[in-house]
């Protein structure tokens, strides 16, 4: 099967993906699949989605030549896909703009979401406000502490933030709690999942709505670079910004696809969030994928300086792209990400999110090994304003 036709009818990417949920949700997911297949071909929907991306999100986002950074690294020419310039500050808005239209089409009155760094929470609360729908955002208590700015933004947007204190009190637990809400309120509630994760059809829906990023790069590259890029780089937590960038390029084998996972305190310490590099196959949140787990099948605590990458699983399509060798998955640890965060800020005047900084850190390493005729596009998936408190506290500065 061509990768472009993935997932298959059972929602699988090779052995990954699927629909591992309690029976109550199976009919709801079947209905979601049916409705999505109808709406994605509907001309009115396509027009509304395209208009919203243009006038509400501010697309297309520029493909920007990082001239000073390229000179500093002394190798491949580096181009930044500026998703940080989107409304609400990250790629996450692309998906929520699409899913809220799907929710309205399905007649749902109540929106729920999970969030880690808070960017998906902000993006969901924003579109819910715009469409006048009730919105509840589940967020781990640990993340509420380290992303207080986004918590307040979500509240200002009129959504309710529900703290989750079970398990590790982070993104995975927020997702468990959102699933529990959905199963309880399945008749009137639409669950906007924020990554290419969860049971089928979510990995497909979230990928498709983010694929606008890759499609724009495909077109912009011809003007800005003069040809296809040699390499695409994006950070991977659940993997939605990477999947959105990679997807339109999957069949173009001349373009290397590199996802960068969170190395935390270092792969050898076990304290990281890099399931594709150091995890094994398992089932969580309705999908089969690579997971951080122990020998008894318990999901283990992850570590990353960035809340948005602090997740023990990864989207099933990434698991598949890794196994077939179409994409490569590297790691950047906390320190490398912080250095990259500072370097891009100082050299280009662009402050990336700490999640994004993991992709930036890999470019720092790989660009000098390439030549000036080659080019790299790195997805600046979000802006770093939300991370200022985190960076300040690491440096011992009280704001």
Partner 1 sequence: MSSKIKEVFAEIKAQKRKALITYLVSGDPDSKTTLNIMHRMVEEGADIIELGIPFSDPMAEGVSIQRGHERALENGTSLNDSFDLVRKFRLTNNYTPIVFMGYMNTFESLGADLFMQQASESELDGILIVDMPPEESSDFSIAAKKANIDIIRLIAPTTSPSRAKKICSQCSGYVYYISVKGITGAGNMDSVDVQNKVGELRQHTDLPIAIGFGIKDAASASSVMGVADGIVAGSVFVDLIGEGDNIIDRVGAKTKELSEVLN
Chain positions contacting partner 1, by CB under 8 A: 10, 18-28, 166-167, 172-173, 176, 179-180, 183-187, 282-286, 291, 293, 295-300
Residue 315 tokens read as 């989207």
How near is the Cβ of 87 to partner 1 at its closest, in Å?
A: 32
Q: Which is nearer to partner 1, 28 or 232 (CB)?
A: 28
Q: Are 385 and 89 in contact (CB under 8 A)?
A: yes
How near is the Cβ of 94 to partner 1 at its closest, in Å?
A: 27
Q: Which is nearer to partner 1, 287 or 360 (CB)?
A: 287
Distance CA 21, CA 389 (A): 37
How near is the Cβ of 179 to partner 1 at its closest, in Å?
A: 5
Distance CA 341, CA 169 (A): 26
How near is the Cβ of 21 to partner 1 at its closest, in Å?
A: 6
Q: Which is nearer to partner 1, 26 or 46 (CB)?
A: 26
In whole angstroms, how far apart are CA 368 and each of 133, 225, 338, 371?
A: 49, 18, 19, 7
Name the catalytic one among 92, 172, 322, 386. 92
Sign of CA pseudo-dihedral 154, 133, 56, 179: positive
Q: Which is nearer to partner 1, 44 or 184 (CB)?
A: 184
Active-site annotation holds for 92: yes
Residue 297 tokens read as 């099948």
Looking at the chain, which runs of residues are DSSP E strands?
A: 12-13, 16-20, 63-65, 77-81, 110-115, 134-140, 160-164, 189-191, 231-235, 256-262, 280-284, 286-291, 327-332, 375-379
Peptide bond into 60 cis (omega under 30): yes
Q: Are 258 and 264 in contact (CB under 8 A)?
A: no
Active-site annotation holds for 195: no
Active-site annotation holds for 365: no
Name the catalytic one among 83, 114, 177, 261. 114
Name the catalytic one among 221, 317, 381, 386. 381
How near is the Cβ of 283 to partner 1 at its closest, in Å?
A: 4
Q: Which is nearer to partner 1, 142 or 333 (CB)?
A: 142
Which residues are known to be catalytic? 92, 114, 381
């Amino acid at each position: 099967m061509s990768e472009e036709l993935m997932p298959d009818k059972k929602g699988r990417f090779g052995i990954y993906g699927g629909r591992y949920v309690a029976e109550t949700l199976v009919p709801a997911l079947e209905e979601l699949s049916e409705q999505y297949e109808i709406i994605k071909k509907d001309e009115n929907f396509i027009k509304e989605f395209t208009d919203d991306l243009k006038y509400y999100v501010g697309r297309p986002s520029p493909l920007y030549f990082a001239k000073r950074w390229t000179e500093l690294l002394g190798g491949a020419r580096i181009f930044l896909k500026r998703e940080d310039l989107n409304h609400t500050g990250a790629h996450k808005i692309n998906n929520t703009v699409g899913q809220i239209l799907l929710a309205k089409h399905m007649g749902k009155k109540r929106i729920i979401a999970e969030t880690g760094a808070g960017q998906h929470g902000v993006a969901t609360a924003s579109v819910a406000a715009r469409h006048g729908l009730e919105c509840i955002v589940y967020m781990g208590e640990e993340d509420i502490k380290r992303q207080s700015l986004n918590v307040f933004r979500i509240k200002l947007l009129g959504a309710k933030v529900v703290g989750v204190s079970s398990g590790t009190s982070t993104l995975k637990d927020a997702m468990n709690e959102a699933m529990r809400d959905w199963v309880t309120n399945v008749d009137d509630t639409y669950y906007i999942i924020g990554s290419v994760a969860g049971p089928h059809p979510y990995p497909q829906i979230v990928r498709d709505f983010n694929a606008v990023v890759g499609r724009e790069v495909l077109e912009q590259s011809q003007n800005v670079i003069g040809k296809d890029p040699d390499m695409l780089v994006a950070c991977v937590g659940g993997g939605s910004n990477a999947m959105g960038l990679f997807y339109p390029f999957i069949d173009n084998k001349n373009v290397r696809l590199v996802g960068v996972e969170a190395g935390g305190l270092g792969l050898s310490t076990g304290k990281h969030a890099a399931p594709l590099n150091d995890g094994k196959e398992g089932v969580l949140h309705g999908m089969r994928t690579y997971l951080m787990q122990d020998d008894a099948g318990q999901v283990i605590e992850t570590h990353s300086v960035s809340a948005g990458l602090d997740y023990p699983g990864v989207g099933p399509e990434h698991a598949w792209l890794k196994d077939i060798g179409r994409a490569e998955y590297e790691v950047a640890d906390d320190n490398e990400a912080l250095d990259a965060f500072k370097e891009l800020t100082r050299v280009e005047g662009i402050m990336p999110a700490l999640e994004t900084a993991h992709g930036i850190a890999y470019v720092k390493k790989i660009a000098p090994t390439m030549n000036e005729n080659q080019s790299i596009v790195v997805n600046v998936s979000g802006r770093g304003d939300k991370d200022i408190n985190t960076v300040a506290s690491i440096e011992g500065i009280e704001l």
